[in-house]
Amino acid sequence: MTNRYSSTWFETFLRDFSPVLTEREIAFLARHLPQPAYWRVLDLCCGLGRHAIPLAARGYQVTGLDRSTDALAEARRRDRTGVAWVAGDMRDLASLPGPFDAVLSLSQSFGYFDATTNTAVLRQIHGALRPGGRFILDIYHRAFFAAHQGDRAREDQGRTIVERKTLAGDRLTVQLDYGPDIPPDVFEWQVYTPDEICALAAAIGFRPLVVCREFDESRAPDPAVPRMQFVFERGSGRPISNRHLHRKTTVFEQR
């Protein structure tokens, strides 16, 4: 089934995830979620808690939501901070104890569904935030994958893993073949350009504060880099100029 992360995926791709990269991402989140104004955080598709646990260790009150009960069981085992782990679906956030000061969707955890449902998910996120709350989004840049399709092999613990990427319109499909006797993982997303995701967010009631890549506010999204980050605010902001950001995107100063 597409978009179901298997135990093989977790063991392969999160087993030795760089703590340096994680710390860079956590520092970015902390810069744009200054306490105490941004304290109650919802981490969507939290997985093993790679972001939720360090944020809780910094004093945030974190709720981690994921539909994988296996991932949540491992996250609970690792956690010593008191994160509230919830088994649930991002398409239904109404039952969560909001509103939240911030919602996170990191590591390409947005766009799993058709365009109508993805828009509905964004509306759910907007509704889960208090006025002035922030939504931090980390997603793929469609232009990168338009230029990087096909097969790529990598070695992992003596086995060859083949990653197959195809892009049809705005739909990216990634298949991971782990070798004999291990079922493949298949993922599919709707992927966006910076202008498209900003326009969609604006139509729902978000304002962009930051548009960047590599969790570095000084670097604009680049088609040569696969991921890009956005900080959106539910509420008002004051326009500022920033030569580093995408020329068609309005950027607002943090309060």
**Residue 66: its pLDDT value, please?**
95
Both tokens assigned to 242: 């920033």
Contact 22/48 with Cβ under 8 angstroms? no
**Residue 184: its pLDDT value, please?**
85
Contact 65/45 with Cβ under 8 angstroms? yes
E strand or H helix at 212, and its extent? strand 206-212
State the average pLDDT for the chain.
Answer: 88
Q: Express each pLDDT in 99-120 by its tens digit.
A: 999 999 999 999 999 999 999 9
* Distance in angstroms (rounded) separating the CA atoms of residues 211 and 249: 8
pLDDT reading at 10 higher than 80? no
How many CB atoms within 10 Å of residue 59?
A: 12
- Give the start-to-end residue ranges of the domains of the chain: 7-140+193-253, 144-187
**Residue 8: its pLDDT value, please?**
73
CATH architecture of residue range(s) 7-140+193-253: 3-Layer(aba) Sandwich (3.40)
Name the DSSP class of 39.
Answer: -
**Residue 226: its pLDDT value, please?**
97
Contact 19/49 with Cβ under 8 angstroms? no
**Residue 98: its pLDDT value, please?**
85
What is the arithmetic mean of pLDDT over 232-254?
45
How many CB atoms within 10 Å of residue 114?
A: 11
Summary count for the chain: helices (H), strands (E): 7, 13
Banded model confidence at residue 240, pLDDT cuts 50, 70, 90:
very low
Share of the chain above pLDDT 70, in %: 88
What lies within 8 Å, CB to CB, of 120 at 6+ separation is 91
Q: Express each pLDDT in 65-76 by its tens digit.
A: 999 898 899 999
pTM, full prediction: 0.87
pLDDT: which is higher, 255 or 27? 27
**Residue 216: its pLDDT value, please?**
98
pLDDT reading at 141 higher than 80? yes
**Residue 237: its pLDDT value, please?**
40
What is the arithmetic mean of pLDDT over 9-30?
83
Q: Express each pLDDT in 178-235 by its tens digit.
A: 888 888 888 899 999 999 999 999 999 999 999 999 999 999 999 999 999 999 999 7
Least confident of 14-18, 87-91, 112-116, 122-126: 14-18
